[in-house]
Amino acid sequence: MTDTTGTPHPGTPDASRSGASGTPRPGTPGSPHPAAALLRTAAELGASTPLGASAPLGASAPLKGARAVVMTMGALHEGHAALIRAARAAAGPDGQVVVTVFVNPLQFGEAADLDRYPRTLDADLAVAAAAGADAVFAPSVDEVYPGGEPQVRISAGPMGERLEGASRPGHFDGMLTVVAKLLHLTRPDIAFFGQKDAQQLALIRRMVRDLNFPVEIAGVETVREPDGLALSSRNRFLDAEERHTALALSKALFAARDRLAAQQALHARAQTTSATTGRAAALTALGEARAAADTQAVALARPVDGPSAVRAAALLILDDAAAAQPPLVLDYLALVDPADFTEVPDDRTTGEAILAVAARVGKTRLIDNIPLTFGATT
């Protein structure tokens, strides 16, 4: 679980639906948002609620609406708030929104990274309440893993060994293990995750499908800063110069997207223009060399150039950033199938893809991605 994203905020719910369990938190003075209940234990969360009986956490009466859950590791920002607002909209005024805050040690390869991860629970409670959460479940490590790390874990399989999995061995096994556990504890009808962590989202969807979890998984679009940088809890570690270099990630993705759009527009034009080398020659004879060159380009346009052109457009930006000060150190740039995160072949002409990038700037590792559609004509 990590960061991300947005839909309109339908209104603020009544926090009394959180039930008597947990510790109510005082709202911000003057704030119109009711406080979210802070829940620390599985007992407070209402883990004994019978499976399939959508009851308020810690209460016996059934919910009239859905229960929606947003899983986070805390350090909440506007990306998380957008997830919570999407959950609020899905749950409706009679449903319930639960935000989990848990820094999962199974997802960290090095103890230093775990220790460095920001913990801002008081601020998280305020963000969650303002976005429409009814309760925040923030258990301790001992509460989630009583007796130490679990002996049985969920394996992410081959998909979990690619890209982020190759860079962070075991990360996705730890992520899926805690997500599975939190799904059992919270028993939501729908759970929201950000598209920014696209591989994580794909793996969670696969786990839910393969293991028959009775829950809908919803993805929410990445939220970005005005300059394009994807919102992340790790952005706070960047100084001004590092942040400037880090903008290359989103710039590379946008350049690739624009290159694909231009190429597909050119190809679509080729399908509707009676452009031939004979016509190009005729235009040349009339002295219209520029028009002839344009006609020839349209006639020769091929959609199969798409994947390689997309990668090249992004790499051009990333290579420049590698020479900057401070430099961007590229981990990977990959154009992958969203179903299994295998590389898209160069002859792909149609279908969905994700262009994903990971890099380090200074001591901070950042990831980003953008969805692409090959074969689109609009």
Residues with catalytic function: 80
Interacting residues of 170 by C-beta distance below 8 A, sequence separation 6+: 106, 109
**Beta strands across the sheet bearing 328-336:** 328-336, 351-361, 364-374
Would you call 181 exposed, middle or buried from its count of C-beta atoms within 10 A (0-12, 13-18, 19+)? middle
Rounded CA gap, 7 and 82, in Å?
6
Interacting residues of 318 by C-beta distance below 8 A, sequence separation 6+: 248, 249, 252, 328, 330, 333, 357, 359
Interacting residues of 274 by C-beta distance below 8 A, sequence separation 6+: none
Rounded CA gap, 16 and 135, in Å?
10
Rounded CA gap, 300 and 285, in Å?
20
What does the DSSP 8-state code read for residue 58? T
